A and B are shown apart, each in its own frame.
Chain A
Amino acid sequence: MEYTWDFTVIVDAFPVLLRGLLVTVELWVLAFAIGLSLGFAVSLGRISGRPWVNAPAIGYVEIFRNTPVLVQLIWFYYAFPIVLGQQLSPFTAAALGLTLNTSAYCAEIFRGGIVSIARGQWEGAKAIGMTRAMTMRRVILPQVMKRMLPAFTNRGIELAKVTSLASLLAVNEIMYQGRLLSSTYYRPLEILTVVALVYFVLIYPGSYLSARLERRLAARD
């Protein structure tokens, strides 16, 4: 029995898939932007010498990194509203889960970068009267940003892939639309293959750039 492909359904389905793609991108931008800033804040807690700041930061990072992200999304959608006393929309729950998850990974990247800078840099800045915040902004971060860039790009790529899990909360991003369409047209092979390709086209440029960047940085030192 030979399967006959029929890619004409894609022509009909494409506008819907594109609308889904838009939601995917929205989720990605939101979770990445907030996740980065939040991650920086958490990393500050992570490097703090005060145990009551340090311990919760460690707990936060470890919980998000040692449980499946899908369980986190489900938790934020089905469980969290119960303590909150208010229903969350699928999009909000997904965005919340993805943001916090991303922030935990970003916190570790920031921490790794910050502690890689020699103590003398903090001392040099301190000795001319710079505050910790000034030192971070003017001395530490500019030195590590480049070094951390590949790791952040990788995080962005992971996040782009993970946004697909929002479909399981019925967020109408591209994966969700793909599944819906494949049962409507009864053409899962064509539609799911195209969805995979759309993701590839979306993500590949990022990982290509990240690989090049990594090579360039490695060649430099």
Chain B
Amino acid sequence: MKYQWDFPAVWNHFDMLVVGLVGTVKLAAVSIVLGVIVGFVVALMRLSHRRMLRAPATAFVEFYRNTPPLVHFFWFFYALPIMVGVSFEPFTAAVLALSTQSGAFYAEVFRGGIVSIEGGQWEGAKALGMSYREVMRRVILPQALRRMVAPFVDRSFELTKTTALASSLAYAELLYQAMQVNSITFRPMEVYTTIALMYFIVLFAASNLMRLVEYRLARAG
């Protein structure tokens, strides 16, 4: 028995997949922005000299690094609402899960970039009479930012792939939409292959584009 391919059956519902792709991009974009904010705050806390700030930040990072994202999705969707007494939209729960998780990873990217700058830079700038803030802003960050680009981009790609987990909360991103198309067409092979290709094209194109940008940045540096 030879399998009869029927891609057109799926492509008739391509509009649904486009809705999904938009959902994926929206979820990723919002989570990246919020994740960066979370990550920045957590990184500053981890770099602080006060234990009171450092300890919770470290715990936050370690917790997220060592637990699966799917648990966070379910936790924010099913568990947290019980505690706070309000229920969340799937989108909200997904954004919460993704931005806190990526925040933990971004925090490590930021911190890693800053501590990678040699002590001599601090000393040199301080010797010029610059304050902590000035040293950070004018000497450390400009150098550190360049080193953060590659790991930051890597993390953002990981996050984008993780958005697929929001399908389990019935948020209409690409994978969820594919499941819907599948339930109409009964063509899992064509549907899931199509969206795998869609993910691939978007991510592969984006990652090569970013590599080019990184290369330019490195050369400029």
Name A residues whose Cβ lies closer than 8 Å to a Cβ of B: 1, 3, 62-63, 66-72, 74-75, 78-80, 82-83, 85, 157, 160-165, 167-168, 175, 178-179, 182, 188-189, 192-193, 195-196, 199-200, 203-204, 207
- Complex Cα distance A182/B171, Å? 21
Residue of B whose beta carbon sits closest to that of A207:
B66
Name B residues whose Cβ lies closer than 8 Å to a Cβ of A: 1, 3, 62-63, 65-72, 74-75, 78-80, 82-83, 85, 161-165, 167-168, 175, 182, 188-189, 191-193, 195-196, 199-200, 203-204, 207
Q: Report whether over half of chain B's contact residues are helix, strand or loop; otherwise say mixed.
A: helix
* Nearest Cβ on chain B to A30's Cβ, whole angstroms: 17
In the complex, chain A residues whose CB is within 8 Å of the CB of B85: 1, 3
* Nearest Cβ on chain B to A17's Cβ, whole angstroms: 13
Q: Is the CB of B196 within 8 A of A199?
A: no
Q: Report whether over half of chain A's contact residues are helix, strand or loop; otherwise say mixed.
A: helix
User: Can you name 8 extra interface pairs (CB under 8 A) apart from A66-B200, A199-B71?
Assistant: A3-B82, A71-B196, A71-B199, A82-B189, A160-B68, A188-B78, A199-B68, A204-B66
- Complex Cα distance A182/B71, Å? 12
Q: Is the CB of B175 within 8 A of A175?
A: no
- Complex Cα distance A167/B72, Å? 14
Q: Which residue of B66, B199, B200 contacts A199 across the interface (Cβ within 8 Å)? A: B66
CB-CB under 8 A for A83 and B168, given A66-B207, A175-B71: no
Residue of B whose beta carbon sits closest to that of A162:
B68
Q: Is the CB of B75 within 8 A of A196?
A: yes
